[in-house]
């Protein structure tokens, strides 16, 4: 027996859940299939920086109550290096826009609750085992065994390694940036008011507040390094060195509650649609976390895809769907370009020429107003 719905969505991350909510608001039947359990979805820590366009989408569609209540506006970042520290108040540069800091797991919990209130259905613990783009059908396996479900359209929002991504033929444009981070969550208040990027010959270090009680840190580590080899003592010692605490003051330490290795890489599909299948989020284009663009791209793609699906289902006009790749991919590549720019700005290479170039970029960012406006516009927007 095959279950049927109108729009079948693989993946309960920001892309799939925003898409499901926008379609349910139009009275369109949807079903979300997610391989993780609800507990895993609710607790997995991800990025928490929402740009103004993401905040607009959430607010305009009644999905931003938690963000508006608990989110913190952030408009300043700082850079530390051998020549000292400088801050950029990007809220006063470029378009005068800011980020909203709101942990992604909290956003996902909000989106799940709203989606269920709107009459949507989610099947957690369902691993997709096969996809047919021509009939918008997937097979999945859960505790009850194998099942098949189909729709008029299928949205692939199950990540860069998901099965829907593999079902779209054509080129994959990939890049391993040759950089790995140890991503750390510390049960400790933020040590400085601004997001801080520290450039050091030992490697990059980053400080990003997530909530009043939890702070995200990043440490550049050798590719292939083992997260478990980084004890709490070793993490704090490396952060002290790279954050130059002797010069700028001690960090507020606390227990390390999560650590994992993140390899900075990019993977973009040359086309993000095939027959009745449309990709969004990391399935459409994986981006390195160096510029906090992943969740923001996912939300904007979900809004674009929802509008196109409404045109097809409510107005019998599939032209926006036909143009989906052409609409979204230029935005993806603009974000990729700035992400790569940030990688080059922040990371250590082992030769004097590239060290000198990095230092010159920082000096330009510190001193050149035009360079600062470029940074602000691309750092916040997509």
> Any catalytic annotation for residue 293?
yes
CB 107 within 8 A of CB 136: no
CB 19 within 8 A of CB 305: yes
Closest to 124 (Cα-Cα) out of 40, 38, 55: 38
Measured at the alpha carbon of residue 47, what is the angle toward residues 163 and 367, in degrees to the nearest 5? 125
Q: What does the block give as tokens for 363?
A: 């000096």
CB 30 within 8 A of CB 24: yes
Residue 240, judged by CB atoms within 10 A of its CB (0-12, 13-18, 19+), counts as middle
Q: For residue 359, which phi and psi values (nearest 5 degrees)? A: -65, -40
Q: For residue 203, which phi and psi values (nearest 5 degrees)? A: 130, 165
Structure letter (DSSP) for residue 142: E
Catalytic residue among 102, 140, 197, 324: 197
> Any catalytic annotation for residue 169?
no
> Any catalytic annotation for residue 74?
yes
Catalytic residue among 99, 207, 274, 293: 293
In three-state secondary structure terms, 154 is strand
Handedness of CA 146, 39, 228, 81 (dihedral sign): positive
Could you tell me if residue 292 is left (phi over 0), alpha (psi between -120 and 50 degrees) or otherwise beta? left
CB 210 within 8 A of CB 103: yes
Catalytic residue among 14, 103, 133, 289: 289
Catalytic residue positions, numbered = 74, 197, 289, 293, 379
């Amino acid at each position: 027996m095959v279950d049927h719905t109108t729009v079948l969505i693989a993946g309960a991350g920001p892309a799939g859940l925003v898409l499901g909510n926008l379609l349910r608001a139009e009275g369109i039947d949807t079903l979300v299939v997610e391989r993780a359990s609800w507990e895993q979805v609710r607790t997995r820590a991800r990025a928490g920086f929402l740009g103004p366009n993401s905040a607009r989408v959430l607010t305009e569609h009644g999905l931003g109550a938690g963000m508006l209540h608990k989110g913190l506006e952030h408009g300043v970042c700082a850079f530390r290096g051998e020549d000292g520290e400088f801050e950029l108040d990007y809220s006063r540069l470029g378009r005068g826009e800011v980020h909203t800091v709101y942990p992604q797991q909290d956003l996902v919990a909000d989106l799940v609750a709203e989606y269920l209130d709107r009459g949507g259905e989610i099947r957690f613990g369902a691993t997709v085992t096969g996809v047919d783009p021509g009939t918008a059908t997937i097979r999945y396996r859960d505790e009850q065994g194998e099942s098949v479900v189909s729709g008029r359209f299928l949205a692939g929002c199950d990540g860069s390694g998901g099965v829907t991504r593999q079902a779209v033929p054509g080129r994959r444009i990939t890049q391993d940036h040759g950089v790995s981070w140890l991503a750390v969550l510390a049960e400790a208040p933020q040590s400085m008011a601004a997001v801080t990027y520290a450039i050091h010959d030992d490697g990059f270090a980053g400080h990003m507040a997530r909530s009043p009680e939890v702070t995200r840190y990043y440490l550049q580590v050798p590719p292939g390094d083992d997260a478990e080899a980084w004890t709490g003592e070793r993490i704090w010692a490396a952060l002290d060195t790279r954050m130059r605490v002797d010069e700028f003051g001690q960090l507020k330490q606390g227990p390390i509650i999560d650590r994992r290795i993140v390899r900075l890489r990019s993977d973009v599909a040359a086309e993000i649609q095939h027959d009745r299948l449309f990709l969004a989020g990391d399935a459409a284009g994986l981006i390195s976390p160096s510029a906090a663009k992943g969740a923001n791209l996912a939300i904007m793609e979900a809004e674009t895809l929802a509008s196109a699906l409404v045109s097809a289902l409510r107005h019998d006009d599939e032209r926006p769907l036909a143009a989906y790749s052409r609409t979204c991919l230029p935005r993806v590549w603009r974000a990729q370009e700035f992400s790569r720019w940030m990688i080059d700005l922040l990371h250590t290479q082992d030769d004097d020429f590239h060290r000198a170039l990095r230092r010159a970029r920082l000096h330009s960012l510190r001193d050149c107003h035009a360079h600062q406006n470029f940074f602000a516009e691309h750092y916040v927007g997509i």
